[in-house]
Amino acid sequence: MPGRYRSGVQLTVVDHPLARARLSRMRDERTDNAAFRAALRELTQMLVYEATRELAVAEEPIRTPVVPTTGYRLAAPPLIVPVLRAGLGMADTAHGMLPESQMGFVGLARNEETFQPEAYMASLPESLVDRHVFVLDPMLATGGSLVHCCGLLTARGATQITVLCALAAPEGIERLRDSGLPLRVFTASIDEGLNENAYIVPGLGDAGDRQFGAV
């Protein structure tokens, strides 16, 4: 994997029978919160698996019970950044697959005067120079929050940002492209588009409410 991504969005759709099955369970309105969280965790495994395919590995000498041989570990585990609240349901699974990774957190809320997303929390390392960052957010809808989040990361020097989302709307992908940010995006589906309330169609509803209940 190159040290920094080309500007623009590299999009990968993780279209796999198991991913389709998990996504269908998440879309189904009869799926309760617990089953939704379980399906999101399983889908996250598939997204992380694909998104880490080209991460650099370092060799290290190990011994099997039989002979010495060469072992491998990730050369530079990425920083994991779930976007609150919906990204929390992906965090533990991603961390389980990347146990050496550190985790940061970004919380975004809409400013009701400007209608723009604002960070109410950004728990991140001061410098992200030369660090891979994996951003977790199940829904790429308008793209406004993700552009804002990734802007916080690039302001700290990040040049290698990977966004993992369950679903994406074409409008959100376009917004990320327009931002000029150097991003890789892994999603299990590109849906039809957004409705008048900025929900993804057919989508799965509100990913936070579906996981944690409407509070």
Question: Where does this chain touch ligand URA (CB under 6 A) — which range of 27-35, 87-95, 157-165, 204-212?
Answer: 204-212
| CB nearer to ligand URA: pick between 89 and 182 | 89
**Amino acid letter at 112?**
E
Out of 39, 79, 91, 139, which residue is the one contacting ligand URA (CB under 6 A)?
Answer: 139
**Other CB atoms closer than 10 Å to residue 89's CB: what's the count?**
25
105 contacts ligand URA (rule: CB under 6 A): no
192 contacts ligand URA (rule: CB under 6 A): no
136 contacts ligand URA (rule: CB under 6 A): no
Out of 97, 144, 199, 212, which residue is the one contacting ligand URA (CB under 6 A)?
Answer: 199
Q: CA-to-CA distance for 69 and 155, rounded, in angstroms? A: 42
Question: Where does this chain touch ligand URA (CB under 6 A) — which range of 54-62, 115-123, 153-161, 196-204?
Answer: 196-204
78 contacts ligand URA (rule: CB under 6 A): no
84 contacts ligand URA (rule: CB under 6 A): no
Structure tokens at 163: 């966004």
Answer yes or no: is 140 a known binding residue: yes
| Sequence-distant (≥ 6) Cβ neighbours of residue 38 within 8 angstroms | none
How many residues bind ligand URA (CB under 6 A)? The answer is 10
| Sequence-distant (≥ 6) Cβ neighbours of residue 141 within 8 angstroms | 169, 171, 172, 194, 198, 199, 200
Out of 141, 164, 173, 183, which residue is the one contacting ligand URA (CB under 6 A)?
Answer: 141
DSSP element (H, E) containing 201: strand 200-201
212 contacts ligand URA (rule: CB under 6 A): no
89: phi > 0 → left, psi -120 to 50 → alpha, else beta; which? alpha
Q: CA-to-CA distance for 9 and 31, rounded, in angstroms? A: 32
207 contacts ligand URA (rule: CB under 6 A): yes
| Sequence-distant (≥ 6) Cβ neighbours of residue 101 within 8 angstroms | 77, 78, 79, 80, 94, 95, 134
CB of 198 to ligand URA, least distance (A): 6
Q: Which residues bind ligand URA (CB under 6 A)?
A: 86, 139, 141, 198-200, 203, 206-208
